[in-house]
Amino acid sequence: MNKKINLIIIITFISLTFVGCNTIKENNTTENNNKINVVTTIFPTYDFVRQIGGENVNVTMLLKPGQEAHSYEPTPKDILNIQNSDLFIYVGGENDVWVDEILDSMENNRPQTLKLLDITNTLEEEIVEGMEDEHNHHHDHSHEDEASIDEHVWTSPKNSILIVKEINNILSEKDEKNSNIYNTNAENYIKSLENLDEKFRQVVDSSKRKTVLFGDRFPFIYFAKEYGINYYAAFSGCSTETEASPKTITFLINKVKEEQIPVVFTIEFSNGKIADTIVEATDTKKLMLNSGHNLTKEQLESGVTYLSLMEENVEILREALN
């Protein structure tokens, strides 16, 4: 409810500033030497645009370094950045419910948009609290009436390829004189993503086991489905919960022991407490698998990319599965 009130206040404020927005947009374009202005909500698409657009595109990420997507709320500055962009890229789903209201408030001044859930094959989240099923997933829909759509589409390199192709198409249409550059960059980047896909496939196909366990949220449904990985976890990928029930922790501890799982995973920006509890009870190893939705300030400044994060995941997964 507080988020809803904050959003209404922000929209009201922004609506008072929209007079002259076209002039602002034109001035920004002039100052940026006619470069395309792109705003993205998360790091993967921010990086995809950088890799394709290079020096011909100005790209802004709304998430601040180290910020969790699940706790993000747009600021007036963020909304003005969206308003003045040529392309706004967002994921869609529960974490982006604010987007439609913001875009509706812009009326005829809204930018072109790209919604990731519209260009990828979506999967339902699986709440992993309760009873084991035949697919080695752990479900309990007591927290919601029906399953929601998982938003972490970029964790599958196959989906990332679809996203890169669509971004390339839009940039090429908006800036035809540089379309050859965009096409070449996209082609080379897609080859890197295909190579990444092959590395993950080889790791899983040659591994001793096909099951992972997360003492955390699980934002890897697309990844797991793509490579045939079974999984157990404390929460679904978009869950806002941070404390697992004793029943869930007991279930996960028992699974580690029963299936002799040597690694308990956690994810980026997690406090790791649930994983620590399981590790302590099972004498296993804790590792982090990075979903890549955002970076720390240090990572961003040091030039970490989506590909470099995923390459690290290749080696971490190799260790965990063997």
**DSSP run (H or E) holding 225:** helix 221-227
Of 192, 217, 245, the last residue of a domain is 192
Cα–Cα distance for residue pair 113/92, rounded to 1 Å:
11
* Claim to verify: residue 114 and residue 223 sit in the same structural domain: no
CA distances from 204 to 138, 181, 283, 314, 316 (A): 21, 35, 24, 10, 12
pLDDT score for 94: 83
Q: Find the domain containing 49 and state its range.
A: 2-122+150-192
Is 132 within the bounds of a domain?
no
C-beta neighbour count of 108 within 10 angstroms: 6
pLDDT score for 18: 46
Of 192, 221, 250, the last residue of a domain is 192
Is 305 within the bounds of a domain?
yes
* Claim to verify: residue 87 and residue 161 sit in the same structural domain: yes
**DSSP run (H or E) holding 112:** strand 112-115
pLDDT score for 60: 97
Cα–Cα distance for residue pair 272/161, rounded to 1 Å:
31
Dihedral angle, C-alpha 167, 171, 172, 174, nearest 10 °: 140
Please tell me the total count of domains within the chain: 2
pLDDT score for 163: 98
Nearest to 307 by CA among 203, 202, 196, 228: 196
pLDDT tens track for 3-37: 554 555 455 445 444 444 443 344 344 345 689 99
Kindly give the residue spans of alpha helices, DSSP state H, lying in 32-156: 43-53, 76-83, 97-106
CA distances from 67 to 64, 134, 221 (A): 5, 36, 22
Spans of the chain, pLDDT less than 70:
1-33, 125-147, 237-242
pLDDT score for 3: 55
The CATH number of whichever domain residue 16 belongs to comes to 3.40.50.1980
CA distances from 182 to 88, 169, 223, 231, 321 (A): 18, 9, 27, 38, 38
pLDDT tens track for 89-117: 999 988 888 999 999 989 778 999 999 99
Is 128 within the bounds of a domain?
no
pTM assigned to the model: 0.86
Kindly give the residue spans of alpha helices, DSSP state H, lying in 155-220: 157-174, 179-205
The radius of gyration of the chain from alpha carbons, rounded to an integer in Å, stands at: 21
* Claim to verify: residue 23 and residue 113 sit in the same structural domain: yes
Cα–Cα distance for residue pair 169/151, rounded to 1 Å:
22
Whether the CB-CB separation of 51 and 185 falls below 8 Å is answered with yes
Is 248 within the bounds of a domain?
yes
* Claim to verify: residue 247 and residue 289 sit in the same structural domain: yes
**DSSP run (H or E) holding 236:** strand 230-236
In single-letter form, the type of residue at position 133 comes to: D
